[in-house]
Structure 1
Amino acid sequence: LGPWNTTTGPSPARSNCTLDTGYRFTFYQVSYGAIFLVGLATNGLALHRLCRSPRALNSTAVYMASLAVADACFVASLPLRIYFYHRRGRAFSALTFAVKYVSLYGGVFFLACIALDRYLAVVHPARSALRRLRFARRLSAAVWCVVLGLSAGLPLLRYAGLVSPRRHHPCLLDPTSRRQRPLILMALGLVLGAFLLPAALLLFSYCRVLSVLGRRRRRRRRRRALTVIYWVLAVFLLCFAPYHANLLVYTLSHVGLLPACSLARASMALHPVVLSLASANCCLNPLVYYFSSGPVGGGDWRCTQCCRMCLA
């Protein structure tokens, strides 16, 4: 689930809580293969559209480009990740963990940046200083520093206080070890904070945007804009919320803070599904800004100016 083992039970004394998850290696190879093909097509179209767009570079375009880069990097790394699972976790483990977090939290943070940008444009249009190109570039650079730091820090966290690595999973912490429990809880706090704070910002921004749009008279444009926003919120919650909720349950049950064996087994069984959903975000992000962006090459796109104003 994170930089800790997902194959053992909560404690050696509770061996009946273990679950055979050997199927996950085949599941990941199939799901990541499909995500790679779809993501290659959608991100290729989105990057092509961004490069050919004649409109001036603005704050939204900066965040969109950063999001596209994070998604493209993850898609490009999927063959390596498929090989990682083909070797059953015995190759390039630290690198695959790091790239996964770049895509996962790059998506979370830059979607939050786009939401904040739309909030300022719709709710506080007079505050133009926060939407200037220079501010957007600095914020984007700061987000990249946070994402790269988090992505490199979580896999490296296992080295702190360990006597020796796990024999079969050298990149994973052992949730049954009391010595490693503080490290696991620290990593859990970082991961949940990296999701919950941007999620709160995104939800607040779009709720305020929806409130303002609800008072607009142009129903057709408002309906299209609302459709895009609802779709983005649904994608965000579908891709990211199940993964982090399952991560919380898994970690607390496997370090002994949640006593129910059923929770431990259910979280282990659900992990391949929720992780694949989180990874599929790289396929869905390009569809958002591809179909909600402005016309390219004089084409007559159905998205209106209101839609582009509300969510790029």
Structure 2
Amino acid sequence: MMVSSNCSTEDSFKYILYGCMFSMVFVLGLISNCVALYIFTISLKVRNETTTYMLNLAISDLLFVFTLPFRIYYFAIRNWPFGDLLCKISVTLFHTNMYGSIFFLTCISVDRFLAIVYPFRSKTLRTKRNANIVCVAVWITVLTGSVPASFFQSTNSRNDTRGKEQSTCFENFPEDTWKTYLSRIVIFIEIVGFFIPLILNVTCSTMVLRTLKKPVTLSRNKISKNKVLRMIFVHLVIFCFCFVPYNITLILYSLMRTQTWINCSFVTAVRTMYPITLCIAVSNCCFDPIVYYFTSDSIQNSIKKNRSTRTREVRFSETQAPENFIQHSLQTLKSKIFDHESTI
């Protein structure tokens, strides 16, 4: 759809960009989140409220990753042959993953805030049962915000350069659809799914930093304080890097599609930035395991334990190997002596 008859809206580069980026995210996201899921469900003996949020975050990432092969095929062929239902599911899981990730990262940030700023008063709040309740509420919220986007026809027809009819998935919606429906969805998900979590993340991190600077906490172990600072830094960098550019651009993209702001330079800039920021947002599937490692002592201890176990096994096999070789050599020599004696 042309935004303005005087503006060029050429953005076909996005299909190559999406195809390459989504392929990389599929491989890295699948491997890293499967490993994370294995650690959460099998390797960890005890799960706390933080790992409960991380487990749900890994499940959210994997659900989205499993839809990527269909999207990759679509970006390569530029035709959606899988039907309207699968397009709806793919789009729903995309939004569920993005805003589910934002919410679960926010839960981790709030949990860390309660543990450090109010360590004693928050003991009754920071329980596995309450964490499970919060996770259910998060899933309900993100599905409530994501599913309405698939209520209408998600696939549309268009003609390619050769005049052949092709099917698109969640693209080329008319101006009326954006003005009456999609723009309202964008407003809802931006306020509830982005701005409120962003404020919570920044506020919680600021309060934690302020608490760590107090004289009472100066006597705390320097290593543990550095650890907390590293956690906050990694958490905020990943959150801001993955989600801030895309959600700001999404607002501008909505203004462009609803004809609220028509300017050729603006249209060109937004249509260029939107695919780039979307790819950055999708990459959160690969970055989430980094948050797992830096945020949870349980994860670090589990990985170190597995590593040390493998090291001990290797060393044991290496020490056993010479002993077995010597024993085998002695047995061979002994049998040869007996054979020699029997021939005399």
Unmatched tracts of structure 2, length 5 or more: 159-167, 308-344
Matched with 1:201 is 200
> Equivalent of 2:46, from 40, 56, 77?
56
SS at match of 1:119: helix
CA contact (8 A) 2:99 2:142 kept: yes
| C-alpha separation in 1, matches of 2:10 and 2:34 | 38
SS at match of 2:78: coil
SS at match of 1:167: strand
> Which deviations, in whole Å up to 9, do the C-alpha atoms of 1:143-165 show, x marking residues without a partner?
11111222211222x45xxxx97
* 1:300 Cα deviation after fit: 8.9
* 1:219 Cα deviation after fit: 2.7
Larger Rg over CA atoms: 2
Q: Which runs of structure 2 are paired with 1:18-29 in the superposition (5 Å)?
A: 18-29=8-19
* 1:213 Cα deviation after fit: 2.0
CA contact (8 A) 2:40 2:47 kept: no
| C-alpha separation in 1, matches of 2:172 and 2:263 | 21
Matched with 2:261 is 258
Matched with 1:310 is none
> Which deviations, in whole Å up to 9, do the C-alpha atoms of 1:3-43 show, x marking residues without a partner?
xxxxx333xxx222232112211211111111111112221
Q: Which runs of structure 2 are paired with 1:150-299 in the superposition (5 Å)?
A: 150-156=145-151, 158=152, 166-168=156-158, 169=168, 171-172=170-171, 174=173, 176-177=175-176, 180-193=178-191, 194-215=193-214, 216-217=217-218, 218-293=221-296, 294=298, 295-296=301-302, 299=305
| C-alpha separation in 1, matches of 2:185 and 2:79 | 20
* 1:45 Cα deviation after fit: 2.3
Matched with 2:7 is 17
| C-alpha separation in 1, matches of 2:6 and 2:234 | 41
CA RMSD, Structure 1 to Structure 2 (Å): 2.3
> Equivalent of 2:72, from 82, 101, 121?
82
SS at match of 1:257: coil
CA contact (8 A) 1:26 1:85 kept: yes
CA contact (8 A) 1:108 1:198 kept: yes
| C-alpha separation in 2, matches of 1:230 and 1:224 | 10
| Residue type of the alignment partner of 2:273 | L
| C-alpha separation in 2, matches of 1:227 and 1:297 | 18
Unmatched tracts of structure 1, length 5 or more: 1-7, 302-312
Q: Which has the higher contact order (CA 8 A, sep 6+)?
A: 1
**Structure with greater proportional helix content:** 2
Identical amino acids, percent of aligned pairs: 29
| Residue type of the alignment partner of 2:275 | P
